[in-house]
Structure 1
Amino acid sequence: MSDALQAWTEATKAKTKASLAKVERYKKAKNLEENNFTINLDFFLTICVHLLERIEQIDNDNYMKAVEKFKDPDWREIFVNMSMDRKKAWLARL
Structure 2
Amino acid sequence: MDEAIEAWAKSLNAKTEVSLARLKCKSEKEAMEGVNDDAYVKALDKFTNLDWRKMFLKMSDPWRRVWLNSLLK
Q: TM-score, normalised by structure 2?
A: 0.75
| CA distance, structure 1, for counterparts of residue 46 and residue 29 of structure 2 | 12
The letter for the 2-side match of 1:77 is K
Q: Relative contact order (C-alpha < 8 Å, sep 6+): which is higher?
A: 2
Task: Choose 1 or 2 for highest CA Rg.
Answer: 1
Alignment of 1:1-94 (within 5 A): 38-39=13-14, 40-94=17-71
How many residues are aligned here? 58
Query: Equivalent residue for 1:20?
Result: none
RMSD: 1.1
Give the unaligned 5+ runs of structure 2.
Answer: 1-9
Report percent identity of matched pairs: 31
Give the unaligned 5+ runs of structure 1.
Answer: 1-32
4+ residue stretches of structure 1 with deviation over 6 A? none
Q: TM-score, normalised by structure 1?
A: 0.59
| CA distance, structure 1, for counterparts of residue 69 and residue 43 of structure 2 | 10
